[in-house]
Homo-oligomer: A and B are copies of this chain.
Amino acid sequence: LLTGASGFIGRHAVGALAARGFEVHAVARTRRPPDGRAVHVHSADLLAPGAAAALVARVRPTHLLHLAWYVQPGTFWSAPDNLRWVGASLDLVRAFREAGGARAVLAGTCAEYAWEPVPDAAPRCEATTPLEPATLYGRCKLSLWQIVEAYAQSAGLSAAWGRVFLLYGPGEPAGRLVSSVAAALVRGEPARCSPGEQLRDLLHVADVADAFAALLASGVTGAVNVASGAPVRLKDVVLELGRRADAGGLVRLGALPTPANDPPVLTADVTRLRDEVGWAPARTLGVGLDDTLRWWRAQSPVTAGRR
Contact = CB atoms under 8 A, between A and B. Distances in A.
A146 interface: yes
A298 interface: no
Looking at A87, A93, A150, the one whose CB has the most chain B CB atoms below 10 A away is A150
Contact of A147 (B143, B150, B153, B155): B143
Contacts of A150: 133, 135-136, 139-140
B94 A83 contact: yes
Contacts of A78: 154
Nearest to A97: B80
A98 interface: yes
A90 interface: yes
A91 interface: yes
B147 A146 contact: no
Looking at A87, A98, A146, the one whose CB has the most chain B CB atoms below 10 A away is A87
A50 B84 CA distance: 12
Interface size class of A (residues with CB under 8 A): 20 to 34
Nearest to A153: B136
B151 A83 contact: yes
Contacts of A153: 136
Given A49-B50, A90-B86, A80 B151 contact: yes
Nearest to A139: B150
Contacts of A50: 49
Interface in A14-63: 49-50
Interface string A160-203: 00000000000000000000000000000000000000000000
Contact of A83 (B90, B133, B135, B140): B90
B80 A87 contact: no
A223 to B, nearest CB: 15
B86 A98 contact: no
Contacts of A86: 86-87, 90, 147
A121 B136 CA distance: 34
Contact of A154 (B98, B136, B142, B143): B136
Interface of A: 49-50, 78, 80, 83-84, 86-88, 90-91, 93-94, 98, 133, 135-136, 139-140, 142-144, 146-147, 150-151, 153-155
Q: Which 9 A-B pairs have the closest CB atoms?
A: A87-B87, A49-B49, A143-B143, A139-B150, A83-B90, A78-B154, A136-B150, A143-B147, A136-B154
26 contacts: A49-B50, A78-B154, A80-B98, A80-B151, A80-B155, A83-B90, A83-B91, A83-B93, A83-B147, A83-B151, A84-B91, A86-B87, A87-B87, A87-B88, A87-B90, A87-B91, A133-B150, A135-B150, A136-B150, A136-B153, A139-B147, A140-B147, A140-B150, A142-B146, A143-B143, A143-B146
